[in-house]
Amino acid sequence: MLHLMVTITDRHRLADFISLYRTNNILINYITLGHGTAANEILDLLGLAEKERAVCFAVVDDETWFSSKRTLERKMKIDVPGTGIAFTVPMSSIGGGRELKMFTGGFNYQRGEVSELKKTDHELIVVICNQGYSGQVMDAAREVGAGGGTIIHAKGTGMKEAEKFLGITLASEKEMIFIVSRTHRKNAIMQAIMEKAGLDTKAKAVTFSLPVTDTAGLRLIEDESNGEEI
């Protein structure tokens, strides 16, 4: 099974984590910056100072995650408060074969059994596109029922490695769009994005989805729009 691996650490330790992942043949796909918002009491408990965070995204399989977790504990001392955290979220789908190879860095992924977690009412569609093309992505998504999305800025890493799987040149400045969708509408939304804002367009969008186990705040919107997404 494939997972989205998320690593959150102090911005100044980012290079150490990337170096470690590359040594273990893990392709860090995207990086964005954040800021800690925990209360002072929580920061003290975790041994963290209130400073900028770096967030890294990578796609790994079960074996790679278990190996990486051990390495993070041994070499990066990630269990020590203040070092950072890493976690995984199961992926339910990736839009396209070329995109799969790009996300996985070409490692020999063998699809296993579908997880029961996929039987959910909602999914989170994640779209990564060139900076300035999020509007094109959302136009495509709205045409098939998506109500809206959330956009953040990110920087693509390993673009040269990704290009050999896609056969196209990629810009490093990216936008990430998050769309919560009804599961039965997910495929149509992802397909529309791939067709109208995908790798054959200037947007160069790639997309994947993550299962959402539960939601809050969507009931009235879905009642009024007969299940449309936001």
Residue-level pLDDT at 137:
96
The reply to whether 211 falls in a domain is yes
Residue 228 pLDDT level (bands cut at 50, 70, 90): very low
The reply to whether 51 falls in a domain is yes
* pLDDT above 80 for 180: yes
The reply to whether 202 falls in a domain is yes
Residues with Cβ within 8 Å of residue 194, at least 6 apart in sequence? 95, 96, 205, 207
Calculate helix-pair angle for 134-142, 183-197, nearest 10 degrees. Answer: 130
CA atoms of 46 and 102, how far apart (whole Å)? 35
Compute CA distances 60 → 5, 56, 104, 109, 167, whole Å: 7, 13, 7, 9, 22
Residue 47 pLDDT level (bands cut at 50, 70, 90): low
Residue 201 pLDDT level (bands cut at 50, 70, 90): very high
Q: Are residues 33 and 79 in the same domain?
A: yes
Q: Are 147 and 225 in contact (CB under 8 A)?
A: yes
Q: Are residues 105 and 188 in the same domain?
A: yes
Q: Are residues 62 and 24 in the same domain?
A: yes
Residue 229 pLDDT level (bands cut at 50, 70, 90): very low
On average, the pLDDT of the chain sits at: 80
Q: Are residues 129 and 194 in the same domain?
A: yes
Query: Would you put residue 10 in left (φ > 0), alpha (ψ -120 to 50) or beta?
Result: beta
Which CATH number characterizes residue 102's domain?
3.30.70.120
Residue-level pLDDT at 96:
86
**How far does Cα 22 stand from its chain's mean position?**
18
Which residue segment(s) compose the domain that 7 sits in?
A: 2-90
Q: Are residues 207 and 102 in the same domain?
A: yes
The reply to whether 230 falls in a domain is no
Helix, coil or strand: residue 133: coil
Q: Are residues 72 and 100 in the same domain?
A: no
Total number of domains constituting the chain: 2
Residue-level pLDDT at 230:
47
β-partners of residue 34 are: 53
Average pLDDT over every residue of 53-75? 89
The most confident of 76-85, 177-186, 213-222, by mean pLDDT: 177-186
The reply to whether 47 falls in a domain is yes
Q: Are residues 131 and 200 in the same domain?
A: yes
The reply to whether 115 falls in a domain is no
Average pLDDT over every residue of 19-35? 83
Q: Are residues 100 and 204 in the same domain?
A: yes
